Amino acid sequence: MEFLRPKTVEEAVELLDHPHALPVAGGTAFPGKPNAERLVDLTSLELNYVEERPDGFHVGATTTIAELERSPVAEMAGGYIRQACEFLADTPLRNMITVGGNIACGHLWAHLPPVLMTLGARTIIAGKRKRELTVYEVVSAGLQRGELIQEVIIPKLGGRGVFKKFALTRTDYAAVSVAVYWDELGRRVAVGGLVRPQRLGDLEGQIDITPELLDRAVDELNPVPHPHFDPEYRKHVLKVLLQRAIAEVEH
């Protein structure tokens, strides 16, 4: 297996144009990719930054979770992103796991995608052609061969957000996760852990969340099996976390 360390994004894109090439950033999710013949390390591309610009916070894809947690964007919206970072695996892993890797890995339990979905974050995708995708588009459809996440743009928002997770321990993989953002324009809700991270539109348009509405929104989900918790129990936990997060963020 080849392990290549390009110095520029253009060089990385060229090296990734190979049938069995994979980008690698923090390297924490690689045991599950046995077919890769060429690993293209993204950590020398100088994509470690969090910059505040007029259109939002620009976060380079190889910024680690530990770096993100210490940056000004973590404190926006009542420390919303900090909440998602602080129990994301343990301290050594937070020094390795990258923002781009957490979005691209496709893990149900990844903390950043639901939070970024509620904030309306966009990703800049480098490839033969540069394009912009929402975080949901990356998580649901994935990237094409030869593409990589270069940057994430997080709008500067003045509301409040609450992230909650349920897991065996505080730092274990999330079996259920909930991200709720609220400002004067309304409420945005996303879930993860038991299903692929996604918005729950049914809970966004209504001011009052009745038990019937909550049941309907959650019962439509089809949880992926979990080694410790059965699907009905996780759905019950999801309803409790949603109620708590919505109450906390709006009162």
Ligand X SMILES: Cc1cc2nc3c(=O)[nH]c(=O)nc-3n(C[C@H](O)[C@H](O)[C@H](O)COP(=O)(O)OP(=O)(O)OC[C@H]3O[C@@H](n4cnc5c(N)ncnc54)[C@H](O)[C@@H]3O)c2cc1C
Binding region for ligand X (CB under 6 A): 22-30, 33, 42, 61, 88-89, 93, 96-98, 100-102, 104-105, 107, 109-111, 143, 148-149, 173-174
Of 25 and 194, the one with the shorter C-beta distance to ligand X is 25
- Between residues 98 and 214, which has the closer beta carbon with respect to ligand X? 98
Cβ 142 to ligand X, closest distance in Å? Answer: 9
Q: Which is nearer to ligand X, 28 or 243 (CB)?
A: 28
Looking at residue 27, its amino acid is G
Q: Report H helices in the chain.
A: 9-16, 65-69, 76-86, 91-94, 99-104, 112-119, 135-141, 211-219, 231-250
Name the residue with the smallest CB distance to ligand X: 101
Question: Can you tell me the distance from the alpha carbon of 151 to that of 49, in angstroms, rounded to the nearest whole number?
Answer: 9
Shortest Å, Cβ 216 to ligand X: 28
For residue 126, give the H/E element and its range. strand 122-126
Nearer to ligand X, 115 or 249 (CB): 115
> Rounded to the nearest whole angstrom, what is the least distance from the CB of residue 33 to ligand X in the complex?
6
**Nearest one of 192, 201, 6 to 105, comparing CA atoms:** 192
Kindly tell me the burial class for residue 233, based on how many C-beta atoms sit within 10 Å of its own C-beta (0-12, 13-18, 19 or more). Answer: middle
Closest separation in Å from C-beta 250 to ligand X: 25
**Which residue in 63, 65, 97, 96 sits closest to 81, CA to CA?**
65
State in angstroms the smallest separation of the CB of 49 from ligand X: 14
3-state secondary structure of 15: helix
Q: Which is nearer to ligand X, 45 or 245 (CB)?
A: 45
CB of 82 to ligand X, least distance (A): 14
> How many Cβ atoms are within 10 Å of 172's Cβ, its own excluded?
15
Select from 91, 138, 146, 132 the least CA-distant residue to 112: 138
Q: How far is the CB of 35 from ligand X (least distance, A)?
A: 11
How many CB atoms are closer than 10 A to CB 182?
A: 22
